[in-house]
Amino acid sequence: MAAMHSWSRDLTSGESTRLPVSADQLGFVIRAELVDRESAGAGQNVRVAVHANTGEEMQRFVLSAERPFVEPGSVPGLHEEFSLDREADSATHAVVRLHGFHITQPPDMNSSDELDMSSLGDEELVQMEYVPEGRFLGGPVPWFAAAGCTAGCMRVAAVEDREEADSKQILVLYRYTTFSASSEGVVARGRTRAHLLRFIATGDHTARSLAWAGSSLVRLIYPSHFSEQLQELWSSLASQVSVLPRAARVEVFVDVGILRRSDCTPERVDRMRTALEHMAEEPWPGRFTGMEMHLPVPMRCGHDKDEAPIDDTDAGERPAKRRKVFAAGEDCPICLQQLKGDDLAAWPGCGKPHVFHGACLERVHVENKTCPMCRHKLYIEPKL
């Protein structure tokens, strides 16, 4: 059975990067997108090419503010080291993000095969079943919500932390399908797009953990025209979930339907519910690393180093494992209001802890993935 490992790379004007491919692997580049469509400027094209180790151009992506992402119908399999090369252009502030994956080839897979992205759901590669490790919360029926022209089902499974590890994981398996009106109500059209994202959390899961993870999806996977509605949808679904603080691993399964604006009525949005509940029972991709990033670190505000930790134990729960912050009197760099209360967080990995209000960081996640103070990235570079 083939093993898949996903990756993403950001390129600025004139930048290049190389990706190695081992002897038993195939590499694929499946999507290119502008991180911020407005940064390209009106009428400005941004070009990125994929070159084989021999220098032969294998793919070319042309993006603009009017066409912020490209997903080719079929992509060539690359069996040697290849490069991603962005041409120098005047859109110096525009960042192009390329997505792809490497697979370990089964013995019968031809290295010259092309991957048909128009029917990717029929490939054995994405039909490998992902088996949840945890216990589903709230019973077998998924939570449901709707927002605008979107509707979705969410199921959450939790694996209890037996070793009380400091590092926790939130695994988000998110797939969405577009729908249109039909004589029977609504019908799915096109292929389902599936994404797997792993978020690394420090300490116990807090009410903000799912909110932080959800706000990150806006720039990572949401279609730009529906990003606000999908963000509202995630908030509605996540508000119904109470994550166990002791959970070492939380698995979030989300199936979303997007109805064309011209077909959108409350009755048709509600009709998507039955189709989505059936989709929620379909298998997920397995052994798929996907995008991976750290979540902010929950913090507390203290007056001095000798102050005892504040006990925030709820009934039946142990105190949350949070680091102390000795920052009494300091202001949040985003809203410029005083840092106080329990909803505080630090950007992970900064040389000096940069602390913000949790709600402020949630808004920042919607726009970008770098610390507002030092530009430290949240991304974990995948190991190929």
- Per DSSP, the three-state class of 206 is coil
pLDDT at 125: 36
pLDDT of residue 3: 61
pLDDT exceeds 50 at position 314: no
pLDDT at 110: 47
Mean pLDDT computed over every residue of the chain:
77
Residues 96 and 156 in one domain: no
**230-250, pLDDT tens digit by residue?**
999 999 998 888 766 677 788
161 and 271 together in one domain: yes
Higher pLDDT, 45 or 104: 45
| Least reliable range by pLDDT among 12-26, 54-68, 283-297 | 283-297
Shared domain check, 193 and 150: yes
Q: What angle do CA 355, 216, 77 make, to 5 degrees?
A: 130
Of all residues in the chain, the percent with pLDDT exceeding 70 is 76
Is residue 372 assigned to a domain?
A: no
Q: Which residue has the tokens 């142990």?
A: 318
Q: Is the pLDDT of residue 325 over 60?
A: no
Residue 322 in any domain: the answer is no
| 123 pLDDT more than 50 | no
Same domain, 230 and 176: yes
135 vs 187, higher pLDDT: 187
Residue 12: domain span:
5-38+45-74+90-103
E-strand ranges in 260-354 read 291-294, 297-301, 323-325, 344-346
Average pLDDT estimate for 323-331: 64
Residue 303, Cβ density class (10 Å: 0-12 exposed, 13-18 middle, ≥19 buried): exposed
* Among candidate residues 294, 323, 358, the one where a domain is terminated: 294
| pLDDT for 38 | 75
Confidence of residue 345 (pLDDT cuts 50, 70, 90): confident
Q: How far apart are CA 291 and CA 378, in angstroms?
A: 11
CA angle 70, 282, 208 (to 5 degrees): 70
φ/ψ of residue 225, rounded to 5: -70, -15
pLDDT at 255: 94
- Whole-structure pTM value: 0.61
Read off the pLDDT of each residue in 199-217 and give the average, rounded to a whole number.
76
Q: Residue 225 domain-assigned?
A: yes
Q: What is the pLDDT of residue 120?
A: 37
Q: Are residues 146 and 198 in the same domain?
A: yes
The answer as to whether 379 is a domain residue is no
**pLDDT tens digits along 59-108:** 999 998 888 888 776 678 888 899 999 998 888 788 999 988 887 755 54
**β-pairing, 150-160 with 143-147?**
antiparallel
**99: exposed, middle or buried (Cβ count in 10 Å: 0-12, 13-18, 19+):** buried
Please say whether the dihedral angle defined by the alpha carbons of residues 255, 258, 263 and 267, taken in this order, is positive or negative. positive
Three-class DSSP category at 229: helix
| Contact predicate 158/243, CB 8 Å | yes
159/97: higher pLDDT: 97
Side chain identity at residue 303, one-letter code: H
CB burial of residue 166 (10 Å; 0-12, 13-18, 19+)? exposed
DSSP string, 306-319: TPPPP--PPTT-PP
Is the pLDDT reported for residue 257 higher than 60?
yes
**Predicted local distance difference test score (pLDDT) of residue 380:** 54
| Lowest mean pLDDT segment, chosen from 123-127, 138-142, 150-154, 300-304 | 123-127
Number of domains in the chain: 2
Is residue 34 domain-shared with residue 153, that is, in the same domain? Answer: no
| Number of neighbours of residue 87 by Cβ within 10 angstroms | 16
* Shared-domain flag, residues 151 and 282: yes
Q: How far is the C-alpha of 161 from the C-alpha of 158, rounded, in Å?
A: 9
Over residues 279-303, mean pLDDT: 70
49 lies in the same domain as 189: no
Give mean pLDDT, residues 207-218: 82
Is the pLDDT at 305 greater than 90, yes or no? no
The beta strand positions in 214-338, using DSSP E, are 247-259, 291-294, 297-301, 323-325
Hey, how many other C-beta atoms are within 10 angstroms of the C-beta on 141? 11
Confidence of residue 109 (pLDDT cuts 50, 70, 90): very low
- Residue 181, domain member (yes or no): yes
pLDDT at 50: 94
Supply the pLDDT for residue 48.
95
